[in-house]
Amino acid sequence: MPTGHNTEIRTDIPHSARIWNYWMGGQDNYDIDRQVGDASLEIDPDIGEMATESRKFLIRAVSHLAGEVGIRQFLDIGTGLPTMQNTHEVAQSIAPDARIVYVDNDPLVLTHARALLTSTTDEGVTTYIEADFNTPEQILDAAHNILNLTQPVGVMFMGVLGHAQTYDDLLRIVRTVMAAVPSGSHLVYWDGTTDSPYYVRMCEEYAKSGGVPYIPRTQDQLRGVFDGLELLEPGFGKITHWRRPEIELATVRDVAAYGGVARKP
């Protein structure tokens, strides 16, 4: 979800959501996205692994919240293009009555979301809000019509807040949303970090390509997003390790992506 509002699908400028879709084996991308995606892989060979590991983290986090915690409402902000095991599929496979609201403002994401991410059954609801994450008040106003904000919500920012222009903006966005949801709500958040010089350089080159800049931040900055919340075990750390089956840990490939899941007290 890059900043700004644009109703035109640009095929001459790369887009992070479409590149991410390409790295995950999706079909919803253009030549420019594949070119920049391949160039990015040459700079940082781990970025494709980061894409797949981020989805595995989403699956584990949503499964835990819907299954063990009992969360029945999810607000997925900056969702990107639908791929495998989207939030509503994971949550509703465990709790068919779960209500999921996706938020993005990219025109291609909008087109696919309306086709694939919108449904209402006798039990659950999956819907979509067109909004920019830089205007969290607008998101909350629209979500209020779908979610019961007096009941716990799973708030998700999955590898999207690098598009926030400053760290203060990032904190403002997250804290505005978390202030509006009740005790017992949870924040699921991850992002790439400055640990990897290859990832940092890749982001710099991506900005030169004409895409909306993506800003890597330090581990301490990412950890600070959870201030005031109660981190679930195993705390803040590598998303590749978060509640992963122990049998898989020996073979997991580390990537420069950190985050966690935390409860609002």
Residue 131 DSSP class: -
Confidence of residue 260 (pLDDT cuts 50, 70, 90): very high
Question: Is 7 part of a structural domain of the chain?
Answer: no
Question: Is 6 part of a structural domain of the chain?
Answer: no
- Structurally, how many domains does the chain consist of? 1
User: Exposed, middle or buried: residue 90 (CB in 10 Å: 0-12, 13-18, 19+)?
Assistant: buried
Establish if 90 belongs to a structural domain: yes
Distance CA 171, CA 169 (A): 5
Residue 5 lies in a domain: no
Residue 113 structural domain: 16-264
Confidence at residue 2, expressed as pLDDT on a 0 to 100 scale: 46
pLDDT tens, residue by residue, 121-173: 667 898 889 999 999 999 999 999 999 999 999 999 999 999 999 999 999 99
**How far apart (Å, rounded) are the C-alpha atoms in residues 130 and 83?**
19
- Strand ranges in the chain using DSSP code E only, listed in sequence order: 73-77, 99-104, 119-120, 125-130, 154-158, 186-192, 230-231, 237-238, 257-263
Q: Would you state the structure tokens that stand for residue 259, as one six-digit string?
A: 């985050």
**What DSSP line would sit under 19-63, residue for residue?**
HHHHHTT-S---HHHHHHHHHHHHH-TTHHHHHHHHHHHHHHHHH
Q: What is the dihedral of CA 239, 241, 243, 249, to 10 degrees?
A: 150
- 11-20, 31-40, 213-222 — most confident range: 213-222
* CA atoms of 49 and 72, how far apart (whole Å): 30
CATH label of the domain that carries residue 211: 3.40.50.150
